[in-house]
Amino acid sequence: MTQEAHELLQKALALPEKERAELAGNLISSLDGTVDQDVDAAWQQEVVRRLHQVQSGEVNTVAWEEVQRKGRTLLHGE
């Protein structure tokens, strides 16, 4: 990584979480110039389906901290 890229990374990491997520999405999107419309549409349908499941109470969300804790336990036997 160049010094310039490293400096940009450090600045990006200092951004609030929402801005980091938006920036990351934009960077990833810039890597693939071709968009498969069928795949994009399928993902949109999946997002809507999952949103409805959460809103209806059909599924429950899990806090990120809990996901991290469980992951560490599985990986490290903590």
Domain count, the chain: 1
- What is the extent of the structural domain holding 31? 3-76
Predicted structure pTM score: 0.46
How do the pLDDT tens digits run along the chain, 78 residues long? Answer: 899 999 999 999 999 999 999 999 999 888 877 778 899 899 999 999 999 999 999 999 999 999 999 999 999 876
C-alpha to C-alpha distance for 59 and 53, rounded to whole angstroms: 6
C-alpha to C-alpha distance for 10 and 67, rounded to whole angstroms: 26
